[in-house]
Amino acid sequence: MLTGKDDLEHESETLEDFTLNAPLYMKEILNRFPVVSFNNRATNETKKQQTNELLKIIADQNNGHLSNEMYNSIEEILLRAEDESV
């Protein structure tokens, strides 16, 4: 889940543009897992749609649970990126 879709829209940038300019570790995470972006300034109706989209993604993954394996994969990517930046 990414927040700040409204900031991207304000800058006339798409999620795809953001992904192209993202650090390597973030690209790896974004390519490995489904992504939903949230517009923080959206109407209540749009916020409900965004939330439903996120809940559908979670439901489609591992019978509705974010698994330890998924969490550990993301943690591993972040730790590796941290090590590389030192």
Please report, in tens digits, the pLDDT of each residue of the chain (86 residues total): 777 888 888 888 888 888 888 899 888 888 887 788 888 888 888 888 888 888 787 777 766 566 677 778 878 888 888 888 76
Q: To which residue do tokens 């409204």 refer?
A: 6
Provide the number of structural domains found in the chain: 1
Q: Global pTM?
A: 0.58
Q: Report residue 49 CA to chain centroid gap.
A: 16
Q: To which residue do tokens 């940038």 refer?
A: 13
For residue 56, give every residue at least 6 positions away whose Cβ sits within 8 Å of its Cβ, in sequence order, or none. Answer: none
Rounded CA-CA distance 79/62 in Å is 24
The residue segments making up the domain with residue 20 are 2-85
